[in-house]
Amino acid sequence: MIRRVLVANRGEIARRVLRACRDLGIGTVAVCSDPDAGAPHVREADAAGRLPGAAPAETYLSAERLLAVARSAGADAVHPGYGFLSENAEFARAVLDAGLTWIGPPPDAIAAMGSKIQAKKLMAAADVPVLPELDPARVTDADFPLLVKASAGGGGRGMRVVGTPGGLREAVAAARREAESAFGDPAVFCEPLLENARHIEVQVLADGHGTVWTLGERECSIQRRHQKIVEEAPSPAVTPGLRAELCQAAANAARAIGYTGAGTVEFMLAPDGRFYFLEVNTRLQVEHPVTECVYGVDLVRLQIEVAEGARLDEAAPRPRGHAIEVRLYAEDPAHGWRPATGTLHTFEVPGVDAEFAVPATHGLRLDSGVESGAEVGVHYDPMLAKLIAWAPTRAAAARRLAAGLRGARIHGLTTNRDLLVRVLEEPGFLDGDTDTGYLDRIGLDTLASPLADEATAKVSALAAALAQAAANRSAAPVLGGLPSGWRNVRSQPQRRTFDGPHGTIDVDYRLDRDGLTSELCPGTSLISAASERVVLDHGGLRETFAVTTAGNAVHVDSRLGPVTLTAVPRFADPSSQIAPGSLLAPMPGTVLRVETEPGADVDEGQTLVVLEAMKMEHRIAAPSAGTVTELNVSAGQQVESGAVLAVIEGTPE
């Protein structure tokens, strides 16, 4: 029996494992890098060991340090979560060699699937359909379009789509760099790109006594940068007959490598109904909650029990209902999925029925690694949380999930929340018409647009101005109880200016004996105003606006949609002015490459600098054609958000 588990991970998956251990009465040990010292998973564990530093290589990827913490804390088992060392066969062997229980599949099974190149050969021998492997050095024009993929790891890193021969060399080089950085293995290969295909995966669970469960399939086709953002179970495209074929292939794959524990066999489903092996994830998946909800199981608990030698029941549980999960990322979809860093001032999701567990009845589940006040840095993946809706039908799950996201209060960081809501409400998605090209087909101009329209932004800005005036009033009690801005006789209007989601908003209003008047929102009247809550009669309806101020940012949440505004000072600070033509760093990161030099003529859209942040490469392009007159960075340099990387002087016409 396992007595104490070292959770060799961070964030929401660490919290998820901790919860399962508490339910089983098992002691827990967390680990944390220096940036994670105050993270929720550290507080929730019975004990925690420090991993000095911030970079993954010296913290969560250091087997030596992890095992040192396990020894000092008296842990007798290790759960790796997902990511980091979860699919590292050498780490699994080191855990076993240290006399600890490895809560995962056998190291040989991990090694067998650790190379996608070798994995495809093993699967072909087990009668699992596979796509042909293409050597990057030998592809022909007839092989395009194709996909360049890292042989190790996953999560979309080290993966590139190449449409023509001219782009192959750079795609292979970039994939190798990213694979080396993320997984320590630069090996890549190519395979045919299945256009309009779906990403379907089967959850497997096997014990050490020969029983293999297949817990249905998950649809994971909606992806950005080859990383999933929406997952559901079951897939709307899979018939009972196809499900039986997929599950049989997954069971064959698990048995072929002597698998035990929880794992996932991933496939690509072509439009003609044929499917092909993609990979085996020899670990728990990020999207495991949808399977847990539909099948009524606790996969982490089962992982632990299987590691203790327990037998699974002969028959797997039967499915019930439908579940959809979305991944909430700190990123800006409208600007190239640019990651966001900084303080998450507010993170509240009302109406949650369970956290890290299946709701007692249908409902909303939240698995989060953050809470209000969390600092989000550049060292780790930008995922903040997962929100899951479980309902009797797919339509009901989508509606419940969209409502939960709409009502969430998320302040301080740009996120993909608005995009997720628009996906869940988009007619094609509701009809089940999704594939890996879904985002490109619908278009980010539609999906990434703010939930709040221009009219909503205006009335929210009026509420923000009234709330700020109320805050000023509370700080100046000599006004004797009159509403801030109130005048007995008509005078000049009160004015505040904000930058909003649709541009600059000038708020002019008067408060006098006739009440509130504003040309910005004609016919809107004031019912009450406080520093954090404003109630307006707008369009004949009483609307309540929750207003939260953090620095220059003002967040307004209402039934009409969330709006983030930036207060514009009346007088600009001259020291804040930036030279025209400056190319700014959109996020903190490390300079990987500089692809220009002083005096070079550049075209609009040409890549000048490549940054690495949150485990991904980000290309910083010239905003306009011109000449590089100043270059301030070099490879290996750390830069902060807003740093001037270069200055481009426009080419005279």
pLDDT at 577 (0 to 100) = 60
Q: State the pLDDT at residue 334.
A: 93
- H-type helices in 25-167, by residue range? 40-44, 63-73, 89-97, 107-114, 116-125
Helix axes 299-307, 288-295, angle to 10 degrees: 90
CATH topology of domain 4-103: Rossmann fold (3.40.50)
| 130 touches 266 (CB < 8 A) | no
- Per DSSP, the three-state class of 52 is coil
| Cα 544 from Cα 538, distance rounded (Å) | 10
Q: Do 531 and 465 meet the contact criterion of CB atoms below 8 Å apart? A: no
Q: Which CATH number describes the domain made up of 454-567?
A: 3.30.700
The answer to whether the Cα torsion of 338, 343, 346, 347 is positive or negative is positive
Query: Tens digit of pLDDT for each residue in 422-462?
Result: 999 999 999 999 999 999 999 999 999 999 999 999 999 99
Q: What is the bridge-based pairing of β-strands 77-79 and 4-7?
A: parallel
Which sequence spans correspond to the domains of the chain? 4-103, 132-192, 198-320, 330-449, 454-567, 574-650
The domains spanning 198-320 and 330-449 adopt the same CATH topology: yes
Which homologous superfamily does the CATH classification assign to the domain defined by 330-449? Answer: ATP-grasp fold, B domain (3.30.470.20)
**pTM, whole model, 2 decimals?**
0.88
Report the CATH number of the 132-192 domain: 3.30.1490.20
In three-state form (DSSP H/G/I as H, E/B as E, the rest C), the secondary structure along 331-357 is: EEHHHCCEECCEEECEEECCCCCEECC
| pLDDT given for residue 575 in this prediction | 47
HSE at residue 441, side-chain half, CA atoms within 13 A, is 17
Three-state SS annotation for 162-204: ECCHHHHHHHHHHHHHHHHHHHCCCCEEEEECCCCCEEEEEEE
Rounded Cα distance between 510 and 522, Å, is 12
CATH code of domain 574-650: 2.40.50.100
Q: What is the pLDDT of residue 653?
A: 47
Residue 504 has phi, psi (to 5 degrees) of -75, 140
User: How far is the CA of 108 from the CAs of 6, 40, 282, 293, in angstroms?
Assistant: 22, 34, 11, 31
For residue 239, count other CB atoms closer than 10 A to its CB: 10
Q: What is the pLDDT of residue 350?
A: 94
User: Taking every pair of C-alpha atoms in the chain, what is the biggest distance, in angstroms?
Assistant: 88
CB 565 within 8 A of CB 553: yes
Q: Residue 169 class from Cβ within 10 Å (0-12 exposed, 13-18 middle, 19+ buried)? A: exposed
Does 3.40.190.10 match the CATH number of domain 198-320?
Answer: no
Q: What is the CA radius of gyration of the chain?
A: 27
- CA separation, residue 635 to residues 397, 612, 619, 638 (Å): 47, 11, 14, 9
pLDDT at 70: 98
| 480 touches 488 (CB < 8 A) | no
Per-residue pLDDT at 58: 95
Tell me 385's DSSP state: E
Residue 406 has what DSSP assignment?
H
Any idea of the CA torsion for 577, 582, 584, 590, to the nearest 10 degrees? -130
Residue 578 corresponds to which amino acid?
Answer: I
Strand 486-487 and strand 503-512: pairing? Answer: parallel
On whether the CB atoms of residues 230 and 420 are closer than 8 A, the answer is yes
Provide the phi-psi class of 336: left if phi over 0, else alpha when psi is between -120 and 50, else beta.
left
Place of tokens 């995962």: 104
Question: In the chain, which stretches have pLDDT less than 70?
Answer: 155, 476-491, 571-577, 614-615, 651-653
Amino acid, single-letter form, for residue 238: V
User: What are the angstrom distances between the C-alpha of 258 and each of 39, 106, 212, 404, 478?
Assistant: 37, 8, 10, 41, 78
